[in-house]
Structure 1
Amino acid sequence: MTSASDAIEPGLAAFEDSLDYVTVTVGGQLLGLPIARVQDVFIATRITPVPLAPSEIVGLINLRGRVVTAICMRRRMGHADAAPGGADKSELTAVGIDQGGEAFALIVDTVGEVMRLSRTTFELVPIHLDRAWAALAKGVHRLDDRLLVVIDVDAVLNIELPVAA
């Protein structure tokens, strides 16, 4: 005779053997943000520029009364900005992240779906991955038709700030 807890355990084992990601694209590349790090997804409409900030920091956003630092993932990953005449620059797709009580918005090209992938398909960062990307990645998952680069959110948020004179 099996108990109710015995019937639940196989499902729990499958859940523990998986990794969940919010997928985004930047410059045509599929990226995975660990779902536990993502607070929300939103459209940033009003960004206030920050003078003398590193180029990756595109400005500040007022999100429901909270000041959020907006980071351009294209710039952070060494891509050129989106081509002129592309998407409307007055609305930018953002993924909200919190770290150490501070709020950040990662500006991405698009947000995709939530993916649950097996831990067994996770691989370390390939040696041939671009150095700038490798510094921001935790690893990869090889999907049927493309590569999902798993982003190290802590590395993305570790931006060298200019030293005050």
Structure 2
Amino acid sequence: MSTQATRDESGAAGFEDSLDYVTVTVGEQLLGLPIGRVQDVFIATRITPVPLAPREIVGLLNLRGRIVTAICMRQRMGRSAAPAPEGCADCELVAVGIDQGGEAFALIVDKVGEVMRLERSTFEPVPIHLDSGWAGLAKGIHRLEDRLLVVLDVDAILRIELPVAA
């Protein structure tokens, strides 16, 4: 019985030493969203634009009866929006669902990848040379074999400055 307890404790300890991310791509950059913050991944269609909204807010959509604010991660990260396919009235966009403070958000990304488990010991603070538009939205990085995984700060992403009413 003590052997089983030791195995369970070591298995649990292994999970404590790792960090799990849902990986997404914006442009060519691999990004990680902490898995505990991700509610779902879906295809967003029929997005209703919001007049006078900040450029990062694509609009609103209805997801299973819930109103969701769609945020373009390209715009949020200071990049130009991806061009819409020609003749696309009801374009399908890849979205990651996030909840914060009882509100629902859809982060529009270029591509959703896999769930990645990385060792906590490989997590590094945001490097000083990281693009300033991205650095304010990042918690840190993981250096992978062939690329850099930028870990996103969901709270920072959702802090969008609203225009001041005239």
TM-score bucket (shorter structure): over 0.9
Q: Name 1:68's counterpart in structure 2.
A: 68
Secondary structure, counterpart of 1:48 in structure 2: coil
Give yes or no for contact 2:125–2:139 (8 Å, CA) kept in 1: yes
% same residue: 76
CA distance in 2, matches of 1:141, 1:64: 35
Q: What is the one-letter code of the residue matched to 1:30? A: L
1:84 Cα deviation after fit: 5.3
CA distance in 1, matches of 2:59, 2:84: 20
Secondary structure, counterpart of 2:31 in structure 1: strand
Q: Name 2:159's counterpart in structure 1.
A: 158
Q: Name 1:103's counterpart in structure 2.
A: 104
CA distance in 1, matches of 2:62, 2:84: 26
- 1:135 maps onto 2:131 in alignment: no
Secondary structure, counterpart of 1:25 in structure 2: strand
- Root mean square deviation of aligned Cα: 1.4
Q: Which string of whole-angstrom CA distances, capped at 9 and with x for unpartnered residues, describes residues 116-153 of structure 1?
A: 00000000000000111000000000000000000000
Q: TM-score, normalised by structure 2?
A: 0.95
| Structure 2 residues without counterparts, runs of 5 or longer | none
* Range 37-46 or range 4-13, more displaced: 4-13
Q: Describe how 1:37-56 pairs up with structure 2 within 5 A.
A: 37-56=37-56
1:2 Cα deviation after fit: 3.1
Give yes or no for contact 2:18–2:119 (8 Å, CA) kept in 1: yes
Q: Name 2:148's counterpart in structure 1.
A: 147
Secondary structure, counterpart of 2:146 in structure 1: coil
Q: Describe how 1:6-85 pairs up with structure 2 within 5 A.
A: 6-83=6-83, 85=85
CA distance in 1, matches of 2:134, 2:43: 25
- 1:117 maps onto 2:115 in alignment: no
CA distance in 1, matches of 2:102, 2:135: 26
* Range 4-13 or range 116-125, more displaced: 4-13
Q: What is the one-letter code of the residue matched to 2:74? A: R
